[in-house]
């Protein structure tokens, strides 16, 4: 019974996905036919008020189709969420590799302040040391 219910849930999810794709395709077709009608009107000019009314009607139908496609997509996502249980994926952060040893290195020491900027006192403490490696780009000659 358990495998049958899982199969039924999978079939329902696939059906919902197919309906969502069909609604999305219908909305795409309606959008493209509306664009064609607008372009024809732009090229040949307004022949009659009937064409303008047809374009307005097509725009309303397009809005309805897009709303139905969105509803079907949401239903498909919900059905798929009920059937699939996927373990969470945690992305590993890439570690930056050190520069190759054959590159020349230059040591620069930046002296720290000798007095406090706020009060002018000379009693300062060393917090730590920051070592960075940067690669200078030499333009081609």
How many CA atoms lie less than 13 Å away from 8 in the CB half-sphere? 5
pLDDT digits (tens, 9 = 90+) for 48-89: 666 677 777 777 787 887 787 788 788 777 777 777 665 677
Pinpoint the alpha helices (H) of the chain.
2-44, 49-83
Token output for 71: 């509803």
Residue 121: inside a domain, yes or no?
Answer: no
pLDDT at 81: 72
Task: Reply yes or no on whether the pLDDT at 101 is more than 80.
Answer: yes
Task: Specify if 26 maps to a domain.
Answer: yes
| Number of domain units in the chain | 1
**Is 116 domain-assigned?**
no
| Residue 112 within a domain | no
Nearest to 21 by CA among 61, 62, 76: 76
Closest CA to 73 of 11, 139, 22: 22
How many whole angstroms separate alpha carbon 83 and alpha carbon 5? 10
Q: Residue 9 has what pLDDT?
A: 77
Give the integer Cα–Cα distance in Å for 37 and 31: 10
Residue 39 domain-assigned?
Answer: yes
pLDDT in tens, 1-24: 567 777 777 877 787 778 888 877
Digit-coded pLDDT (tens) for 115-124: 888 888 888 7
Q: Do residues 68 and 23 touch, judged by C-beta distance below 8 A?
A: yes
pLDDT of residue 29: 78
Q: How far apart are CA 39 and CA 102, in angstroms?
A: 64
Residue in 75, 83, 81, 66 with CA at minimum distance from that of residue 16: 75
Residue 77 pLDDT? 78
Residue-range definition of the domain harbouring residue 16:
2-83
Q: Is the pLDDT of residue 100 over 80?
A: yes
In a domain, 100, yes or no: no
Give mean pLDDT, residues 81-98. Answer: 71
* Residues 37 and 54 sit within 8 Å (Cβ to Cβ): yes
pLDDT (0 to 100) of residue 75: 78
Residue 101 lies in a domain: no
Query: Where is average pLDDT lowest: 39-48, 93-102, 132-141?
Result: 39-48
Residue 127 placed within a domain: no
Looking up tokens 């040949």 gives 44
């Amino acid at each position: 019974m358990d495998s049958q219910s899982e199969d039924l849930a999978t079939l329902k999810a696939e059906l919902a996905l197919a309906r969502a794709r069909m609604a999305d395709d219908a909305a795409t077709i309606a959008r493209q036919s509306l664009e064609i009608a607008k372009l024809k009107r732009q090229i040949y000019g307004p022949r009659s008020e009937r064409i303008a009314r047809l374009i307005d009607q097509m725009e309303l139908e397009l809005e309805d189709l897009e709303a139905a496609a969105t509803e079907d997509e949401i239903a498909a996502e919900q059905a798929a969420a009920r059937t699939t249980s996927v373990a969470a994926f945690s992305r590993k952060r890439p570690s930056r590799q050190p520069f190759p040893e054959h590159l020349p290195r230059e040591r620069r020491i930046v002296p720290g302040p000798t007095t406090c900027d706020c009060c002018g006192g000379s009693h300062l403490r060393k917090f730590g040391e920051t070592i960075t490696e940067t690669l200078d780009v030499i333009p081609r000659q």
